[in-house]
Chain A
Amino acid sequence: MKNAFFGLLALLITFTLTNCKKTEEEVKGLGDVVIEMDNHAGDEILEFGKSYVTAGGDTVKFTTFNYFVSNFILTKDDGTQYLVPKDSCYFLCQHDDVDSREIVLHNIPAGDYKSVQFIIGVDSLKSVSPVGDRKGVLDPTGAAAGMYWSWNSGYIFVKVEGTSPQAPVDAGTGERTLEYHTGLFGGKDSPTLNNLKTVKITSTSESARVRDGHTGDEAPVFHLYVDILEMFTTPNSFRVADVPTSHAGPFSQKVAENYADMFTLDHVHNHQ
């Protein structure tokens, strides 16, 4: 009787173990995850030159919408996190460059991921790094030239430009321009404002199923909506007549608080 019991137990354990192994095997390996930044103005897909109305009632047209996103962290359904390595976690999304808005994270350990986290902007460490460590989109003499303040050396995290009939006439250009350039990472050895914002997007339904070798069209997609009009509202709604421009001044803090919630999840798309 005793022997039979242990025999059965051994069999059960072996069975369970084999079973577990099988599940583990299924999610081994590396695949890609795509984060698609789908720029919107309210409910509409963003188009440059088209008129939109802000929450405050201002009519606005846009000519520039660029933003840095960096330091991606993916969280599996079981809560374990994967930090995308530092050397491949900086992206510059430009509205007029569709490819730049399809972020591909490579070599992600296979698994089911329910959330993606990132920073809007470029972290402080990278912001004070030597020029040799600023490759690709971070090169202040190249790709990042228009997203970099040389006099207050740091990156512009979010750059929005456009026009509005409610904005005052710019003395320099003679046009009713809007210009919101937001940066400031907190300073190197003396503090400055810190406008870095962390975004965490969690799917309450489908998770992104990363599988070994699934890259390109086979990779799962976090499809995000990025609403440019959020920059004008919640929690600090403002009128463009009052604030037609904002750069490295104190108001930048309010602009950053506003755009911190411009990223929302539309859906997760799995191709298999």
Chain B
Amino acid sequence: MQPDFYKVTGISKGLILGVLSVLLLFSCKKDEPSYEVFLPSNFPAPAYDLSQNPVTTAGFELGRKLFYDPIMSRDSTIACADCHISFSAFSHPQHATSHGIDGLFGRRNALPVQNLIWQTSYFWDGGVGQLDLIPLNAITNPVEMDESPAHVVAKLNRHRQYPALFREAFPGGDSVTGPHMLQALAQFMSMLVSANSRYDHYVRHEAGGDMSQQELAGLQVFQQKCATCHATDLFTDQTYRNNGILDNFTLDRGRNEVSSLPEDIGKFRVPSLRNVALTGSYMHNGKFKTLEAVLDHYASGVKDSPTLDPLLKQNGQLGIPLTAEEKQSILAFLQTLTDQDFVNDERFQK
């Protein structure tokens, strides 16, 4: 009886503490917004050098305004936030691929925008090696925003509000410049840190970190069977791998399109699994709508091809053996990676 009683009290305490801290956060926010980048103790050191583009209140708020403004696109119809929506960890929920300008569709699933300062390269093929330069890809892509950076800058310079906002964020500059536009967006993106999931509280031994037996069992199976690629608390080893999603990659060769190396055909970024329950569809082409389908793929749907990751073909056997029970426990565990604080953070919303 006693242990159960303790457990209940523990949860209540956690709840009260949680509610209190949320209240505290909200009250702080009203008076003085905190724009310090959250560097969680269970993460490694960031790859992005924050000191060369320090986050300031004016810079962050300018970046947020740009992120939500369709002025970035050729005909002012598409904003960054159209395919990177806050409540789904800045991904495009339920969209295999996204519709950009003129209703055109891209080839790849929009990745979540979170924890970017720990990432060393960006996009499914790692084609961009610097956080600052990420937006140029979307701006210039003919099926996304189809715009030239110089023209965006010209439009911003003609705008009623932006020139003053840029002067405030980057004192000394007399007009809107492309590099400052990218630095403001980078400041906004730097702040998008998700590390307050129940799993995080569990590993950091904080309140609100209670995990059920099934979730803990799922964590154990995950560590045995998934964590080689979905490594560290970033849940990615930041490599490119062919996970057997297809056996023919003529439509999208993945990393090979960037590297031109034959061994990279069909390889795509190992994505982080943070907030994974919110970010479906899954895989580079958005092939799977549910996490169940993803696990079924690894258990019994892996397709062979010359560049298939060796981890998915051990002892001549395709895929990762998973029992029905293991799948259920992994699914339960993956739910603990959802970070409600992050997706509900008003600082990051329009």
A132 touches B (CB below 8 Å): yes
CB-based contact A131/B183 at 8 Å:
yes
A129 touches B (CB below 8 Å): yes
CB-based contact A190/B240 at 8 Å:
yes
| CB-contact partner of B259 in A129, A131, A191, under 8 A | A191
A58 touches B (CB below 8 Å): no
**B interface residues, how many (CB within 8 angstroms):** 39
CB-based contact A192/B261 at 8 Å:
yes
* A-contact 0/1 string along B292-305, CB 8 Å cutoff: 00000000000000
CB-based contact A131/B137 at 8 Å:
no
| CB-contact partner of B179 in A128, A132, A191, under 8 A | A132
Nearest CB of A to B219, in Å: 28
Residues of B within 8 A of A253 (CB): 260
CB-based contact A248/B258 at 8 Å:
yes
**A interface residues, how many (CB within 8 angstroms):** 31
B249-273, CB < 8 A from A: 255, 257-262
User: How many angstroms between the C-alpha atoms of A141 and B259 in the bound complex?
Assistant: 23
A229 touches B (CB below 8 Å): no
Q: Tell me whether A189 and B258 are in contact in the complex, defined as CB-CB below 8 angstroms, given that A150-B139, A151-B141 are known contacts.
A: no
User: How many angstroms between the C-alpha atoms of A189 and B183 in the bound complex?
Assistant: 23
Nearest CB of B to A95, in Å: 21
B126 touches A (CB below 8 Å): yes
| CB-contact partner of B238 in A131, A189, A250, under 8 A | A189
User: How many angstroms between the C-alpha atoms of A208 and B168 in the bound complex?
Assistant: 49
Nearest CB of B to A50, in Å: 30
Residues of A within 8 A of B260 (CB): 184, 192-193, 248-250, 252-253
Residues of A within 8 A of B140 (CB): 150-151
CB-based contact B182/A192 at 8 Å:
no
Question: Please, which residue of chain B has its CB at the minimum distance from the CB of A184?
Answer: B260
User: How many angstroms between the C-alpha atoms of A141 and B72 in the bound complex?
Assistant: 13
Q: Tell me whether A131 and B258 are in contact in the complex, defined as CB-CB below 8 angstroms, given that A141-B149, A141-B150, A141-B181 are known contacts.
A: no
CB-based contact B128/A153 at 8 Å:
yes
User: How many angstroms between the C-alpha atoms of A265 and B153 in the bound complex?
Assistant: 41
Residues of B within 8 A of A131 (CB): 130, 132-133, 179, 182-183, 186
Residues of B within 8 A of A269 (CB): none
A152 touches B (CB below 8 Å): yes
* A-contact 0/1 string along B147-160, CB 8 Å cutoff: 01110010000000
B35-63, CB < 8 A from A: 49, 52-53
A22 touches B (CB below 8 Å): no
A188 touches B (CB below 8 Å): yes
CB-based contact B52/A132 at 8 Å:
yes
Nearest CB of A to B245, in Å: 19
Question: Please, which residue of chain B has its CB at the minimum distance from the CB of A131?
Answer: B132
CB-based contact B261/A141 at 8 Å:
no
Residues of B within 8 A of A139 (CB): 178-179
CB-based contact B53/A140 at 8 Å:
no
Nearest CB of B to A240, in Å: 21
Residues of A within 8 A of B52 (CB): 130, 132-133
* A-contact 0/1 string along B109-120, CB 8 Å cutoff: 000000000001
Residues of B within 8 A of A190 (CB): 121, 126, 239-240, 255, 259
Q: Tell me whether A141 and B130 are in contact in the complex, defined as CB-CB below 8 angstroms, given that A150-B139, A152-B258, A190-B259 are known contacts.
A: no
> What 10 A-B pairs come out closest when comparing CB atoms?
A141-B178, A188-B129, A192-B259, A141-B149, A131-B132, A150-B136, A128-B129, A153-B128, A152-B127, A193-B260
Q: List 18 A-B contacts (CB under 8 A).
A: A131-B133, A131-B182, A133-B52, A140-B136, A140-B149, A141-B136, A141-B177, A145-B148, A150-B128, A151-B140, A153-B127, A153-B133, A187-B259, A189-B120, A189-B238, A193-B260, A193-B261, A250-B260
Binding site for B on A (CB under 8 A): 127-134, 139-142, 145, 148, 150-153, 184, 187-193, 248-250, 252-253
